[in-house]
Amino acid sequence: MQVNGAWQPTIVAFCCNWCSYAGADLTGTNRLAYPANVKIIRIPCSCRLNPLFILRAFGRGADGVILCGCHPGDCHYTTGNYYARRRMTLLFSMLDFLGIERERTRVEWVSAAEGAKFAAVMNDFVRQITVLGENKRLEDFRCK
């Protein structure tokens, strides 16, 4: 994304409704800052995240995608985040195969009480993606 002539990474954050989305809200309530590059999409559970959504985001020009869910064992739906964890592990090896830098995708467990952690994770992730630079490899030129 170009902002005032300078490149800024576009980052999509998928947050589960029960823990991480509430954690992100808490970050706001505590007024802890993180970069505006991060845009949050609410999903009911981290297991709702189809790995396809991540590929879609990369295809459409996202530079980094992060999935936030409840801590293992704390899932509102009991086992959802375990499924998410397995699927993401598989996706990571596929992204490796495609030659996408592994650092562009991340999974973090953020509870509803961890507002400070959410901000710290986002700050760190944006810094990391800024260093990696623009995502070119998966960009879908048909969309341009």
Partner 1 sequence: MQRIGVFVCHCGTNIAATVDVAQVAETLGKEPGVVLATDYPYMCSQSGQDMIENAIREQKLTGVVICSCSPRMHEATFRKTVARAGLNPYLLEIANVREQCSWVHKDREEATQKAIILGRAAIAKVTLNAPLVAGESPVVKRALVIGGGIAGIQTALDIADAGFEVDIVEKEATIGGKMAQLDKTFPTLDCAACILTPKMVDAAQHEKINILSYSEVEAVGGFVGSFRVKIRRKARYVDETKCTGCGLCTEKCPQKAVPNPFNLGLDTRRAIAIPFAQAVPKVAYIDPNYCTMLKTGKCGVCSKVCTVGAIDYKQQDTLEEREYGAIVAATGYRPISLEKYGEYAYGQSPDVVTSLELERLMNAAGPTGGTLLRPSDRTHPKTIVFVQCVGSRCEEDGRGKPYCSKICCMYTAKHAMLIREKYPDTEVYVFYIDVRTPGKNFDEFYRRAVEEYGVHYITGQVGKIVPENGKLLVQGSDLLAGMQPKIAADLVVLAAAIEPDPSARSLATLLTASMDTNDFFTEAHPKLRPVESPTAGVFLSGACQGPKDIPETVAQAGAAAAKVIGLLSRDHIVCNPCVATPNEQMCNGCSSCEKVCPYGAITYADKEFRMPDRTTALRRVAQVNPAVCQGCGACTVACPSGAMDLLGFSNKQIMAEVDAICR
Binding interface with partner 1 (CB under 8 A): 3, 10, 12, 17, 21-22, 24-29, 31-36, 39-45, 47-53, 56-57, 60-62, 76-80, 83, 87, 119
In the bound state with partner 1, the residue whose beta carbon lies nearer, of 1 and 98, is 1
Whole-angstrom Cα distance, residue 83 to residue 99?
A: 24
Q: Which is nearer to partner 1, 49 or 100 (CB)?
A: 49
Buried b (16+ CB within 10 A) or exposed e, 111-129: bbebbebbbbbbeebbebb
How far apart are CB 125 and partner 1 at their closest, in Å? 14
Shortest distance, CB of residue 131 to partner 1, whole angstroms? Answer: 20
Residue 73 Rama label (left phi>0; alpha psi -120 to 50; beta):
left
Q: How far is the CB of 99 from partner 1 (least distance, A)?
A: 20
The token pair at 94 is 């596929």
Residue with Cβ nearer partner 1 (79 or 98): 79
Query: Nearer to partner 1 by C-beta: 25 or 101?
Result: 25
Please state, as a whole number, how many other Cβ atoms lie within 10 Å of the Cβ of residue 66: 24
CB proximity list for 43: less than 8 A, separation 6 or greater: 14, 15, 16, 17, 49
| Minimum distance from residue 116 beta carbon to partner 1 (Å) | 12
